[in-house]
Structure 1
Amino acid sequence: MAQLEHFTTSVDTVVSRMRALDAELPERDGVAVFNRVYLAVTESVDRQIDAGRFADRRAAITLDVRFAERYLAAVDAVTEDRRPPACWRPLFQFRRHPEVRPMQFALAGINAHIGHDLALAVVDSCRSLGCEPADLEDEFERVGDILVSLEERVREDLMPGPDLLQIADPLTHLLGSWSLERARDASWSAARALWALRGLPDLAEEFTDRLDTAVGFASRMLLTPLPD
């Protein structure tokens, strides 16, 4: 498995953490649903790194690890009775709600992680590597392509049967209101904006807080209870 040299966390470490969570959490738990999806993403990225499909292996590993660390920090915050970022709060608050469907949990987690964490992970990676966001664009796009392909698989695995997905089903409307590709594009724009604001810490903090709140609002909408 790919290793990240000169940094405190390796891909092995984040994968091990996610596998441990998968073993610990009840299957229907909303965080467990997202964790399974994200574990598959991380393992897929790692295989592609090992296969040499990223031109800059070090940059790919850095982005992969910095991205995962954001999610795991949110998990740790909840475990330690601290408040996670606003983007993650809806998933942790509704994780056991009986009228929220697995597909909603998966999308809410993906929304929080892509909409907020990915932008900050790009900035974290630029600082670690001493580069500009443009230098990570290829890695960003390739990771995004993997996420899109896995989102399609998630929809196939977690979608209710065709007989349930009638046009009047509220889940149909929720699924149609969110797009991973749009979220990914917005995250890239946010990363570039944050990098441009790095010399203005007050504005950067305000921008980050507003991004966090907006993404959290979208996650809350995705977790609207849908009685059967």
Structure 2
Amino acid sequence: MGQSAQLTHRPDTVEAVVARMRALDAALPERDGVAVFNRVYLAVTEAVGQRLAAGRFTDSRAVATLDVRFALRYLAAVDAAAAERRPPACWRPLFQYRGHPGVRPLQFALAGINAHIGHDLALAVVDACRALECEPCDLEDEFDRVGDLLVSLEERIREDLMPGPDLLQIADPLTHLLGAWSLERARDATWSAARALWALRRLPDVAEEFTQRLDAAVGFAGRMMLTPLPD
């Protein structure tokens, strides 16, 4: 396993998150599955930072808080795996298959997005609401704006990692994989999950069960995404 480039403190700004992701990019082998996801996530986080610096968001504090809380979930999973602790179930397939020669870069990237959006984003909304002392509805505009940037992440992945049209035939298993998962649907489901978790915050046992089931379901989908494919 490659070096994790762990820091001794948790990043608390978008700039610090970007620095941590750049350190990971420099430390991990290029073909490593986590490195593949990290590169595309880094590009989107850099875009968030640039838009924040340019004053492109109505509520910069809310966007920055949500973005940092979101990224911390991924970075915590990286650190858990590096320390040989079990990351959340949604991330385990990516760390288990990160070096498998039969898994294509596009699969690694999509599995990372699946884990991060399907599980982490819902919890990050709740984290941000607690930090900002607000309700999820108060963050909906910011959620949508960050979601739009995540769509650009998916577009970047398709541009950078998809085989050329002469290689991607209709019967190719990768074609089927691409059609079986939708970022837009995942984002909608995440917003519903975030609202449900917020509503359950005064029922910690029920909230914990809901979170565990969400984690397991997202992890199962990620494992399917990382099915080794023939050349």
| TM-score band w.r.t. shorter chain | over 0.9
> In the TM superposition, what are the counterparts of 1:59-138 in structure 2 within 5 Å?
59-138=62-141
Q: Which SS does the other structure have where 1:160 is aligned?
A: coil
Of 204, 210, 214 in structure 1, the residue corresponding to residue 213 of structure 2 is 210
Q: Distance in 1 between matches of 2:56 and 2:147?
A: 14
CA RMSD of aligned residues (A): 1.0
Identity %: 81
Q: Which residue in the other structure is 1:32 paired with? A: 35
Q: Which residue in the other structure is 1:14 paired with? A: 17
Q: Distance in 2 between matches of 1:104 and 1:60?
A: 28
Which 4+ runs in 1 deviate beyond 6 A? none
CA-to-partner distance for each residue in 1:32-86, whole Å, 9 max, x for gaps?
0000011011001111111212111110110010000000000000111110000
Q: Distance in 1 between matches of 2:17 and 2:149?
A: 18
Q: Distance in 2 between matches of 1:75 and 1:35?
A: 10
Q: Distance in 2 between matches of 1:181 and 1:9?
A: 28
Counterpart amino acid of residue 179 in structure 1: S
Structure 2 stretches lacking a partner, 5+ long:
1-9
Shift of 1:150: 2.3
> In the TM superposition, what are the counterparts of 1:143-222 in structure 2 within 5 Å?
143-222=146-225
Structure 1 stretches lacking a partner, 5+ long:
1-6
Q: Which residue in the other structure is 1:3 paired with? A: none
Shift of 1:147: 0.9
- TM-score normalised to the size of structure 1? 0.96
Q: Which residue in the other structure is 2:57 paired with? A: 54
Shift of 1:8: 6.6
